[in-house]
Amino acid sequence: MRITLSVIKADIGGYVGHSESHPEVMAKADECLAKAKGDGLLIDYYITKCGDDVQLIMTHQRGVDNEEVHKMCWDTFVEGTEVARKLGLYGAGQDLLADAFSGNVRGMGPGCAEMEFEERPAEPVIVFMADKTSAGAWNLPLYKMFADPFNTIGLVIAPNMHNGFIFEVHDVKGHKKISFNTPEEIYDMLVLLGAPSHYMVKAVYHRDTGDIAAVSSTERLSLIAGRYVGKDDPVCIVRSQGIFPAVGEVLEPFATPTLVEGWMRGSHHGPLMPTSIPDSTPTRFDGPPRVTAAGFQLQDGKLVGPRDMFADKSYDNARQKALDIADYMRQHGPFEPHRLPLDEMEYTTMPGVMKKLEGRFTDL
Ligand code: F6R
Ligand code: MG
Ligand code: MG
């Protein structure tokens, strides 16, 4: 059975500040998606949150970028925004950057990761969701899952993975894309992936079968709006087991809380801390950045789950490490490399400050 798995998310109001999603907003989203399921548009859905972002996880058979599915999600966010406004939530409607829906939510503010595939007899999928960070935060974990044998032993000892994976990489500033065959092209690929604010892994495919293995949202809010309007807070879908990395190999990269862009005012580097879904409530200095993982088994498109994968005790050390890194990074205050470098701050107050000081610079 051919299934489309769509994850579409938006920050439509924070509770309190930018720290959490309000249950009434999520209840409204649930009402809207229940109707879409009743109407036959969706096979199944699950509503969750990561920090101040509402996550619509959906299965259907209409393919990716389907106008009706996207319009239904946009309308859901609009209705959720009304609830957020009534509750006086913070930044109600923040991510709805367009005045009206036009064909597709891409480029309109919400983040979007979708894949279409033939459902296997048993189909484990992990939906990763992040808050207080940008699209690009998945580069390092996706590299480790699908190209690093020190993370994924299956690349070495599982014959059905030994030939490697294809990475589709997007240049989000130059609006171009390129594909790399791994393992033989990893050195070239890492030149780009190591600059995650510019180059992002959009998708990963199995080399022998061409099956899609992973897809991420690469929408950059600042590039859409031309100014700082909140961080992208990206999502990523990964298929697992069989010809793909095992669930434990998919989760393993997050045992190291790597430094990502985001945190306070979207202008800092901080550790990406794996937490349970209820613990995705960025508080200290509006962070540190969070990642959650909802695991599902698909059954004829039905979402059996979720299991809250990072609620597991085996991620306690990663959390502690992230908190220690947060302490250390915070001590740098407004200094790089805690604060982002100037060229990454072009969508904040920085251009205004430079303009103000313009006339006061004299030649050396
Ligand atoms: C970061 C984030 C927050 C806000 C900060 C200021 O992604 O959402 O750190 O940037 O709380 O928010 P505003 O400008 O809305 O007052
Ligand atoms: Mg917010
Ligand atoms: Mg957010």
**How far does the centroid of ligand 1 lie from the alpha carbon of residue 132, in Å?**
9
For residue 11, give the ligand 1 atom closest to its CA.
8
pLDDT of residue 99: 85
d(C-alpha 220, C-alpha 228), whole Å: 10
Q: Whose CA is nearest to atom 4 of ligand 1?
A: 265
Return the domain boundaries, the chain.
Answer: 2-343
Q: Which of 65, 228, 308, 321 is catalytic?
A: 228
Splitting the chain (364 residues) into consecutive groups of 10 residues, what average pLDDT does each group show? 98 97 98 98 98 98 98 98 98 92 91 98 98 96 98 98 98 95 98 97 98 95 80 96 98 98 94 98 98 98 98 98 98 97 79 90 95
- The answer to whether the peptide bond before residue 183 is cis (omega within 30 degrees of 0) is yes
Which ligand has the minimum distance to the alpha carbon of residue 9?
3
Distances (CA, A) of 4 to 43, 62, 140, 315: 10, 7, 26, 30
Assess whether 228 carries a catalytic annotation: yes
Digit-coded pLDDT (tens) for 89-143: 999 999 999 888 988 998 899 999 999 999 999 999 999 999 999 999 999 999 9
For 136, what's the count of Cα atoms within 13 Å in the CB-facing half-sphere?
25
Distances (CA, A) of 64 to 111, 222, 255: 14, 24, 31
CB-ligand 1 contact for 264 (6 Å cutoff): yes
Q: Is the pTM of this model over 0.75?
A: yes
Assess whether 316 carries a catalytic annotation: no
Q: Cβ(2)–Cβ(118) under 8 Å?
A: yes
Digit-coded pLDDT (tens) for 259-290: 999 999 999 999 999 999 999 999 999 999 99
pLDDT, the chain, mean: 96
Q: Whose CA is nearest to atom 14 of ligand 1?
A: 265
